[in-house]
């Protein structure tokens, strides 16, 4: 009986390892190819050597990446834009969800339904009208000690951030999680003299860690992977995010080693973030009954 159980466990483990290996292949290929010259990448393609750091291995491709693309600047831009989007997104969406979950406001169900309905509309259909709109918005900048007003948000950082702060799916996730937190806690806090904001800040949010982590990841990933929008609204090189950078490599003679090196550079932060939040992420997805 014990042997049978051991055999079953070993079988399950083997299947898991096989799945893990298959899933890891593209990433291993990317990392390994980033260390090889182009000719070798293609030469190794038909053998297992494609996944092994063998042959003419060096970090030359990484050096070439920084020669071709201002990669450090792009990384910094993406980290900044993604971080601000995540922080403001958590704040704004959780506040909205809190109001919809806790406050007694007439018509809140209609509001919640309307918010959810926006999930149906794909971003691509809104992109062009949104470009027009953001170009009509007032813009101000500090020039010494005076504020100068002009029109249009194109070619700025905020145009990459502000349209993506409010997010229907994040509101939904927070709302579902808040619903699972007993309302008696609010009432107890209220008896102790707490206002709505204090209940939100000191009672509900500290209990909503998994939902916050999930929203953080689900906001971070599209912000980090953002391509179409910055392509449309950002013209200056110094403001571009990492995903635009990948296009720098697709010239008539593509250097695939450099492509792989750049792809490795921009993948690592995402993998690190996912590993850091993995437990909370899985917990929250499981508890909210949402399939990703």
Partner 1 sequence: MNKKLTKVLATSIAAVALTSTLAACGKGSASSNEGSGEIALWTHNAGNPDELAAVQKIVDSYNGSQDKVKIKVQAFPQDSYNDSVVSAAAAGNLPCIVDIDGPNVPNWAWAGYLAPLELDTDLSKHLPSTVAEWDGQPYAVGYYDVALAMMARASDLEAAGVRVATMEQPWTKEEFQDALTKLKALGKWEHPLDLGTAGTGEWLPYAYSPFLQSFGGDLVNRDGFQSAEGALNGDEAVEWANWFRDLADQGFMARKSGKDSTQDFLNNKSAIVYTGSWAADKAQAALGDDLVVMPPVDLGEGPKIGGASWQWGVTSGCSNTEAAMDYLSYSLKPENIAAVAKATGAIPASEEAAAQTPSFAEGGANRIFMDFSREYAVMRPETPAYPFIATEYGKAVQDILNGADPKSTLDSAVKAIDANIKSNGGYKN
Write out the residues near partner 1 by the rule CB under 8 A.
38-39, 42-43, 45, 67-69, 84, 128, 131-132, 135, 139-142, 152, 154-158, 161, 228, 231-239, 244-245, 247-254, 256
CB of 237 to partner 1, least distance (A): 7
Task: Specify the DSSP element, H or E, that contains 57.
Answer: none
CB of 222 to partner 1, least distance (A): 18
Residue pair 86/216 in contact by the 8 Å Cβ criterion: yes
Which C-beta is closer to partner 1: that of 135 or that of 176? 135
Cα–Cα distance, 54 to 40 (Å, whole number): 10
Give the residue among 58, 27, 57 at the shortest CA–CA distance from 44: 57
CB of 102 to partner 1, least distance (A): 19
How crowded is the C-beta side of 266, counted as CA atoms within 13 Å? 28
CB of 70 to partner 1, least distance (A): 10
Which residues, other chains included, contact 119 with Cβ-Cβ below 8 Å and sequence gap of 6+?
168, 169, 172
CB of 155 to partner 1, least distance (A): 4
CB of 232 to partner 1, least distance (A): 4
Q: In this structure, what DSSP letter does residue 140 have? A: E
Which C-beta is closer to partner 1: that of 157 or that of 169? 157
Which C-beta is closer to partner 1: that of 223 or that of 244? 244
Cα–Cα distance, 51 to 27 (Å, whole number): 9
Count of CB atoms within 10 A of residue 29's CB? 16
Which C-beta is closer to partner 1: that of 161 or that of 218? 161
CB of 160 to partner 1, least distance (A): 9
Cα–Cα distance, 158 to 152 (Å, whole number): 11
Number of helices (H), then strands (E), in the chain: 15, 2
Tokens of 15: 């299947």
Which C-beta is closer to partner 1: that of 69 or that of 173? 69
Tokens of 232: 């449309």
Which C-beta is closer to partner 1: that of 43 or that of 55? 43
Task: Specify the DSSP element, H or E, that contains 114.
Answer: helix 108-117
Which C-beta is closer to partner 1: that of 91 or that of 274? 91
């Amino acid at each position: 009986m014990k042997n049978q159980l051991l055999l079953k466990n070993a079988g399950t483990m083997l299947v898991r390892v096989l799945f893990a290996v298959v899933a890891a292949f593209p990433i291993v290929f990317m990392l390994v190819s980033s260390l090889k010259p182009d000719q070798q990448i293609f030469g190794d393609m038909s053998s297992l050597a494609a996944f092994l750091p063998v042959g003419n291995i060096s970090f030359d491709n990484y050096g070439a990446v920084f020669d071709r693309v201002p990669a450090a600047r792009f990384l910094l831009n993406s980290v900044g834009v993604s971080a601000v989007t995540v922080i403001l997104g958590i704040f704004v969406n959780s506040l909205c969800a809190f109001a919809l979950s806790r406050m007694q406001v007439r018509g809140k169900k209609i509001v919640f339904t309307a918010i959810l309905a926006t999930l149906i509309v794909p971003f691509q259909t809104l992109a062009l009208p949104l470009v027009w709109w953001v170009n009509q918005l007032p813009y101000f900048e500090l020039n010494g000690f005076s504020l100068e007003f002009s029109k249009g948000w194109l070619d700025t950082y905020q145009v990459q951030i502000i349209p993506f702060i409010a997010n229907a799916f994040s509101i939904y996730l927070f709302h579902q999680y808040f619903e699972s937190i007993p309302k008696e806690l609010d009432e107890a806090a209220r008896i102790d003299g707490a206002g709505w904001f204090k209940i939100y800040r000191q009672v509900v949010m500290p209990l909503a860690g998994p939902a916050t982590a999930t929203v953080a990841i689900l906001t971070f990933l599209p912000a980090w992977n953002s391509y179409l929008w910055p392509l449309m609204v950002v013209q200056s090189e110094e403001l571009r995010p990492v995903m635009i950078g990948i296009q720098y490599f697709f010239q008539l003679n593509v250097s695939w080693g450099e492509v792989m090196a750049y792809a490795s550079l921009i993948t690592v932060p995402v993998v690190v973030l996912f590993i850091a939040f993995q437990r909370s992420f899985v917990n929250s997805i499981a508890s909210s009954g949402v399939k990703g």
